[in-house]
A and B are shown apart, each in its own frame.
Chain A
């Protein structure tokens, strides 16, 4: 194969590999195992610009899925999303204003159900 074709193939391969690896790039991860809504993470934006807080989870146990909520420190709910059991769903995001707190809550969609999994989150 000629050099141009080889380089193109290599670039495609690297891009694909990066896509696979980077498709799940999160800053932090914390496990949960709960039957009620609990507060799992706190983010504080130390910068002078607004950032985006993103979070995702794929419940590993329990039925009905998991609700993830993002709130301000005074409990004003900013974003909420249902993450069904064992289905990949896109991130829940919220803008975290400059010098502001956000809290991330995790809880079962069906009350009383025990749900387990890992909560992934980060900012960009």
Chain B
């Protein structure tokens, strides 16, 4: 009965004070919604990282390539296999018969999901007329990378025979690699003989048309994958050897769980240890969950307390007489406090729950907007797996805990204060507590005479509208917003490091398009270059460079395998020596040295010849003009360079001293190359097993000292020496990095770094001694080099990018063995990533400002109501309402300016920390080139970025404008109150 009565009284109060209830609800709901939404978006971002890892590695632990479909049953029957999927090896397609783009089909959704190569655009084929292609193939066919277009393709079986030709609708595009990945594909396996990674996907209905019988199976297992595969192999009578233990799932979760930040503690990356880490909690949250969310939660906590304290104070003052009556009737202050506490806590619990629901709803709405705007696959933070839950803050628990805790504290402070009073004291809420000084400023009579008496000065002397807690709140939200924006920008720039690297290495920091011969053309030993069918044909390059929209271009042909063979009279620096195995006294090293010598002589060189690397670069004639002023000896004769009669010797500045006096204009050059047969030119030198192709030129058994067993040392020779008749036309010394990148060859690209490394001040010379000629010279010399290995283009600022894209793909679509790079594609990816990071930042800033300004509004309203009697008296004496409003607005507008000035401080402090870290690294005090053990905390901080480099004045200006606008809105209740004030009632009233 008593409880029912108290409940009815509470209900009655809130019914008659709806505005207060709404204000309380608004603060709680917005605070809870903010925390919940931020937590959910962080989970979305983590899910994006997880999906990216799965795309890089695959959602499986081991993969068995090209086995018979009959072997599938041994996989499915094996108890160690947790789950499996497979695709059918159908055949090939491409611009021509030898294009080599593998075509596969997936039999079911589980196989698609486990293989995990999602479409970046569109979807997997849903019928026999649809097809999915890798982005590289789309470009190679000269198509613009959009779905919905018709593609005409010739399909070949696995033996290379044409099967059929058909028009397909491009339903989806995948990106099975990136410009910097090894061999161009994320999942290129490290197995002998290599493997063609799937690049084209058709529906399973089409599979029958190819006649292929092989499949590739991938498995998930929580046991040791090697043991499971061995067991399958043991049971299956058919042999299969092409197995790759990708460890995809373990590597993925290892990365997501942050265990990689604590490398060095003996953690073996397998599913068993991953699960163990999950159960024991040995996982680490990233910056967002470990720092950003707690910081944000703390700010919301403080702001909510500040706003709710004064609200609750008002509520308690309203009900002071009610509480006084209860206490007078004998209710103890503890029971009274408990009743009020439970009532208010129940209200907050309801509002916070509603807020969490609102936050979830808003999250889903924003996710839909993002999916429609720029990222179709953007994941929701609601449905995430245990690994993401382990390393992210729980949005619901965090929001509930922070809000309830802040509300509890905000309720307790005024409640305990009130409960200290006696019932009689409680009846008089306006009493000034002993010891509290009057807020009225004392003005001397002299000052009064000196001052010009105006209503404004009278108001200012009698009323204080300032609330210092509002100053604190505005400073906090502006400082947090300014620091948050700059820090998140720096963080997103740091995350885009790889894209910046792609732009740099592909020359796209200056050019808009670049093409280069793909990395499949790795040298064989002794710098033997092959695949001369790869590259950009001369005529196509010239034709495209003459298009109107091209404003600048550069191309070169690089032959890394040309070399100088001196008979001992001329000695070049040892780091140019192509003999890279030295005798050390060890018997095995001696044998290796002999093997290398046998190979060198089998190629056509003598034992007494010193062989030094001299790669050759062919450039267009008009690109030679830039070199005129760097000639130190001789002259540039384009005709002789074109005929091959002469070459230019390009010396990087850092090698000048070592090569002084060796080359002179007119000197005959003992230049030669290793020329391969047509068959050898087509070999894939990666994971090359030479004994499958030729007999060794050297073979020797050497005993191993440690094991006592005999080791077989062999060497093979591919190709034959071809001498080139030429002489030095001019000597050029280059120091400019841009010029060296055009006219010299990177040292490590031909030497593989095995020889002695230059100890220049920057750690080593990047470029090496190079011979320069015109492209026709290679033909004159009888060499097979006839295609550009690199080409770059810049389009005009007013050019139509879409048209340029289409023309580019059309012109170079037939080229073999080259990779295309466009700065637009890379920058689009960068912008997407920046948007994802800044989305969380903007959400945090927006919600923080909203909660903060709402708090400020509550404070403003409370302030004006607490001085209602004084205001009414002044107005009764003739003070115009507009005068008071003007004072209020003017005072409130000062807060954002103070906040803006204050906001610079934390950014400056953070920048000082960054500078300190940079200084420690530069001085060598923190030397972490190689890390063992925990990754230092500062490595995940964007210390090398400039926090004041993101348009600080503009950002601060916008922030001030936003806060001004919102403060103006928050001031409206104050002004509304003054306008509606009943002066007579306020003057007579002793309570408010």
B505 touches A86 (CB 8 A): no
A15 touches B753 (CB 8 A): no
A76 touches B56 (CB 8 A): yes
B226 touches A72 (CB 8 A): no
* Given A97-B497, A97-B501: A82 touches B589 (CB 8 Å cut-off): no
Complex Cα spacing A60 to B706, Å: 8
Complex Cα spacing A36 to B581, Å: 29
Select the residue from A22, A28, A54, A74 with max chain B CB neighbours within 10 A: A74
A51 touches B763 (CB 8 A): yes
Select the residue from A91, A101, A109 with max chain B CB neighbours within 10 A: A91
B56 touches A82 (CB 8 A): no
Q: At the interface, yes or no: B200 with Cβ under 8 Å from chain A?
A: no
Q: Mark A63-76, 1 if CB is under 8 A from B, else 0.
A: 00001010011111
Contact residue among A86, A103, A112 (Cβ-Cβ distance under 8 Å from B226):
A112
Q: Mark B468-482, 1 if CB is under 8 A from A, else 0.
A: 000000000000000
* Given A43-B930, A99-B494: A38 touches B269 (CB 8 Å cut-off): yes
Closest Cβ neighbor of A38 among chain B residues? B268
A44 touches B756 (CB 8 A): no
A56 touches B754 (CB 8 A): yes
Closest Cβ neighbor of A77 among chain B residues? B182
B756 touches A23 (CB 8 A): yes
Q: Which of A29-61 contact B (CB under 8 A)?
A: 35-39, 41-46, 48-52, 54, 56, 60-61
Q: At the interface, yes or no: A20 with Cβ under 8 Å from chain B?
A: yes
B921 touches A46 (CB 8 A): yes
A86 touches B588 (CB 8 A): yes
Interface segment, one of B243-251, B276-284, B837-845: B243-251
Contact residue among B245, B255, B927 (Cβ-Cβ distance under 8 Å from A74):
B255
A82 touches B687 (CB 8 A): yes
Least distance between A22 CB and chain B CB atoms (Å): 4
A25 neighbours in B (Cβ, 8 Å)? 756-757
* Given A27-B930, A124-B763: A39 touches B501 (CB 8 Å cut-off): no
* Given A18-B574, A52-B753, A75-B53: A23 touches B580 (CB 8 Å cut-off): yes
Q: Which of A95-116 contact B (CB under 8 A)?
A: 95, 97-101, 103, 109, 111-112
Contact residue among A36, A76, A101, A123 (Cβ-Cβ distance under 8 Å from B186):
A76
Select the residue from B583, B592, B927 with max chain A CB neighbours within 10 A: B592
Least distance between A82 CB and chain B CB atoms (Å): 6
Q: At the interface, yes or no: B190 with Cβ under 8 Å from chain A?
A: yes
Q: Which of B917-947 contact A (CB under 8 A)?
A: 921, 927-932, 935, 939, 944
Q: At the interface, yes or no: A12 with Cβ under 8 Å from chain B?
A: yes
Least distance between A9 CB and chain B CB atoms (Å): 12
Q: At the interface, yes or no: A90 with Cβ under 8 Å from chain B?
A: yes
Complex Cα spacing A14 to B643, Å: 41
B763 touches A75 (CB 8 A): no
B753 neighbours in A (Cβ, 8 Å)? 52, 54, 90-91, 93, 124
Contact residue among A38, A74, A109 (Cβ-Cβ distance under 8 Å from B53):
A74
B229 neighbours in A (Cβ, 8 Å)? 111
For chain A, which range describes its interface: under 10, 10 to 19, 20 to 34, or 35 or more residues? Answer: 35 or more
Closest Cβ neighbor of B501 among chain A residues? A97
B497 neighbours in A (Cβ, 8 Å)? 97-100
Contact residue among B190, B704, B748 (Cβ-Cβ distance under 8 Å from A67):
B190
Complex Cα spacing A25 to B758, Å: 11
Least distance between B347 CB and chain A CB atoms (Å): 47
B263 touches A50 (CB 8 A): no
A43 touches B929 (CB 8 A): yes
Complex Cα spacing A77 to B181, Å: 6
For chain B, which range describes its interface: under 10, 10 to 19, 20 to 34, or 35 or more residues? Answer: 35 or more
Query: When A and B form their complex, what is the total count of cross-chain residue pairs whose Cβ atoms lie within 8 Å?
Result: 165
Chain B: interface secondary structure?
A: loop
Contact residue among B186, B190, B270, B756 (Cβ-Cβ distance under 8 Å from A19):
B756
Complex Cα spacing A61 to B308, Å: 71
Complex Cα spacing A103 to B264, Å: 12
Closest Cβ neighbor of B751 among chain A residues? A90
A48 neighbours in B (Cβ, 8 Å)? 944
Least distance between B939 CB and chain A CB atoms (Å): 6
Q: Which of B560-594 contact A (CB under 8 A)?
A: 571, 574, 577, 580-584, 588-589, 592
B581 touches A88 (CB 8 A): yes
Least distance between A56 CB and chain B CB atoms (Å): 7
B577 touches A44 (CB 8 A): no
* Given A74-B53, A75-B255, A82-B687: A18 touches B756 (CB 8 Å cut-off): yes
B390 neighbours in A (Cβ, 8 Å)? none
Contact residue among B178, B260, B713, B930 (Cβ-Cβ distance under 8 Å from A28):
B930
* Given A88-B589, A97-B501: A23 touches B755 (CB 8 Å cut-off): yes
Q: At the interface, yes or no: B52 with Cβ under 8 Å from chain A?
A: yes
Complex Cα spacing A100 to B752, Å: 21
Closest Cβ neighbor of A45 among chain B residues? B929
B932 neighbours in A (Cβ, 8 Å)? 41-42
A20 touches B584 (CB 8 A): yes
B181 neighbours in A (Cβ, 8 Å)? 76-78
Contact residue among B245, B255, B583, B751 (Cβ-Cβ distance under 8 Å from A37):
B245
B498 touches A19 (CB 8 A): no
Q: At the interface, yes or no: B634 with Cβ under 8 Å from chain A?
A: no
B52 neighbours in A (Cβ, 8 Å)? 74
Q: At the interface, yes or no: A7 with Cβ under 8 Å from chain B?
A: no
Complex Cα spacing A68 to B944, Å: 31
Complex Cα spacing A15 to B704, Å: 30
A20 neighbours in B (Cβ, 8 Å)? 582-584
Q: At the interface, yes or no: B762 with Cβ under 8 Å from chain A?
A: yes
Closest Cβ neighbor of B577 among chain A residues? A19
B577 neighbours in A (Cβ, 8 Å)? 19
A42 neighbours in B (Cβ, 8 Å)? 263, 930-932, 935
Complex Cα spacing A4 to B221, Å: 72
Q: At the interface, yes or no: B849 with Cβ under 8 Å from chain A?
A: no
B501 touches A100 (CB 8 A): yes
Select the residue from A88, A95, A103, A109 with max chain B CB neighbours within 10 A: A88
Closest Cβ neighbor of A12 among chain B residues? B571
Complex Cα spacing A124 to B192, Å: 30
Complex Cα spacing A65 to B592, Å: 16
B757 touches A124 (CB 8 A): yes
Closest Cβ neighbor of A43 among chain B residues? B930
Q: At the interface, yes or no: B230 with Cβ under 8 Å from chain A?
A: yes
Q: At the interface, yes or no: A10 with Cβ under 8 Å from chain B?
A: no
A78 neighbours in B (Cβ, 8 Å)? 180-182
* Given A51-B763, A86-B711: A23 touches B929 (CB 8 Å cut-off): no
Q: At the interface, yes or no: B57 with Cβ under 8 Å from chain A?
A: yes
Closest Cβ neighbor of A95 among chain B residues? B505
* Given A46-B921, A61-B706, A77-B181: A87 touches B929 (CB 8 Å cut-off): no
Complex Cα spacing A46 to B931, Å: 12
A89 neighbours in B (Cβ, 8 Å)? 525
B764 touches A73 (CB 8 A): no
B752 touches A93 (CB 8 A): yes
Q: Which of B737-766 contact A (CB under 8 A)?
A: 748, 751-758, 762-764
Q: At the interface, yes or no: B554 with Cβ under 8 Å from chain A?
A: no
Complex Cα spacing A51 to B687, Å: 25
Please, could you name 24 A-B residue pairs with CB atoms under 8 Å apart, sorted by A? A20-B583, A25-B757, A28-B930, A35-B226, A36-B270, A38-B268, A42-B263, A46-B921, A50-B501, A60-B706, A75-B251, A76-B178, A76-B186, A78-B180, A78-B182, A79-B182, A82-B687, A86-B711, A87-B713, A88-B581, A90-B751, A93-B752, A111-B229, A124-B763
A-B complex: 6 closest residue pairs judged by Cβ atoms: A124-B764, A97-B501, A90-B752, A90-B754, A22-B756, A19-B574
- Given contacts A23-B755, A124-B764, could you give 7 more A-B pairs where the C-beta distance is less than 8 Å? A20-B583, A44-B930, A50-B501, A80-B182, A93-B748, A97-B498, A111-B245
Q: Which A residues contact B (CB, under 8 angstroms)?
A: 12, 15-16, 18-20, 22-23, 25, 27-28, 35-39, 41-46, 48-52, 54, 56, 60-61, 67, 69, 72-80, 82, 85-91, 93, 95, 97-101, 103, 109, 111-112, 121, 123-124
